[in-house]
């Protein structure tokens, strides 16, 4: 969004603790989680911004 619109949303006057996440990076992370060995099953990953 920032690349195309040259805008960056500021939520709640900038007091929120979030960071934008690149969709491609998030997709790569999901793929890596889905292809990990079975012994890692049940592990939690925080993939939000």
The pLDDT value recorded for residue 5 is: 74
Domain count, the chain: 1
Nearest by Cα to 2 from 17, 20, 14, 18: 20
In a domain, 10, yes or no: no
In a domain, 43, yes or no: yes
Residues 6+ apart with CB under 8 A from 32: none
Please tell me what DSSP assigns to residue 42: T
Q: Which domain holds residue 36?
A: 17-49
In a domain, 3, yes or no: no
The pLDDT value recorded for residue 24 is: 92
pLDDT digits (tens, 9 = 90+) for 1-49: 567 777 777 777 878 776 778 889 989 988 988 888 878 778 888 876 6
The pLDDT value recorded for residue 28 is: 92
The pLDDT value recorded for residue 2 is: 62
In a domain, 23, yes or no: yes
């Amino acid at each position: 969004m920032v690349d195309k619109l040259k805008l960056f949303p500021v939520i709640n006057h900038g007091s929120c603790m979030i960071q934008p996440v690149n969709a491609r990076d998030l997709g790569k992370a999901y793929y890596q989680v889905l292809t990990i060995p079975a012994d890692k099953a049940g592990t939690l990953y925080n993939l939000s911004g």
